[in-house]
Structure 1
Amino acid sequence: MSKRRTAVSLTVLGVVPLALTTLTAGPASAHGATANPVSRAVACAKEGWKPGNPACKAALAVSSDQIGDWKSIVQGQAMDHSTPSSSPQHRAHVPDGKLCSAANQQFAGLDLPRADFPSTTLPSGREYTFQYDVSALHNPYRMEMYLTKDGYDPTKPLKWSDLEDTPFLSADNTAAVTAPPGFLGGKAFNFNAQLPQKQGKHMIYTIWHGLKKPDGSFQSQEAFYSCSDVEFK
Structure 2
Amino acid sequence: MRGKLGAVVIGLGVFGACVLATGSASSHGYISQPPSRQALCADGTVDDCGDIQYEPQSVEGPKGFPAAGPPDGAICSGGNSRFAQLDDPRGGQWPAAQLTGGQAYDFSWTFTARHATTDFEFFITNDSYDPSRPLTRAELQPQPFLTVPYGGRPPSSDTVTQQGTIPTGLTGRHLILAVWNIADTGNAFYACSDVQF
TM-score, normalised relative to structure 1: 0.66
Larger radius of gyration: 2
Partner of 1:5: none
Which amino acid is the alignment partner of residue 200 of structure 1? G
Partner of 1:128: 105
Partner of 1:157: 134
- C-alpha separation between the residues in 2 aligned to 1:193 and 1:110? 24
**Residue pair 2:117, 2:154 contacting (<8 A) in 1 also:** no
Deviation at 1:141, TM superposition (A): 2.5
Question: Does residue 108 of structure 1 match 2:84?
Answer: yes
Deviation at 1:123, TM superposition (A): 2.1
- Structure with more helix by fraction: 2
Counterpart of 1:145 (choices 112, 119, 122) is 122
Q: Considering only aligned residues, what root-mean-square deviation do their CA atoms show, in Å?
A: 2.2
Q: For 1:29-108, list aligned pairs within 5 A.
A: 30-47=27-44, 53=46, 56-57=47-48, 60=49, 63=50, 65=51, 67-75=53-61, 78-79=62-63, 88=64, 92-108=68-84
Counterpart of 1:203 (choices 145, 169, 175) is 175
Gaps of 5+ in 2: 1-25
- C-alpha separation between the residues in 2 aligned to 1:127 and 1:67? 30
Gaps of 5+ in 1: 1-28, 80-87, 179-186, 212-218
- Deviation per CA, 1:46-89, whole angstroms, max 9, x where unpaired? 11xxxx64xx32xx3xx4x35520001002xx24xxxxxxxx26
**Residue pair 1:41, 1:68 contacting (<8 A) in 2 also:** no
TM-score, normalised relative to structure 2: 0.77
Other structure's SS at 2:58 match: coil
- C-alpha separation between the residues in 2 aligned to 1:152 and 1:89? 18
Identity %: 33
- C-alpha separation between the residues in 1 aligned to 2:82 and 2:145? 29
Which amino acid is the alignment partner of residue 126 of structure 1? Q
Q: Are residues 175 and 220 of structure 1, via their aligned partners in 2, closer, same or farther at CA, if it must alter by over 3 Å?
A: closer
Which amino acid is the alignment partner of residue 101 of structure 1? S
- C-alpha separation between the residues in 1 aligned to 2:115 and 2:143? 25
Which amino acid is the alignment partner of residue 228 of structure 1? S
Q: Which has the higher contact order (CA 8 A, sep 6+)?
A: 1
Other structure's SS at 1:71 match: helix
Deviation at 1:210, TM superposition (A): 2.0
- C-alpha separation between the residues in 2 aligned to 1:192 and 1:208? 15
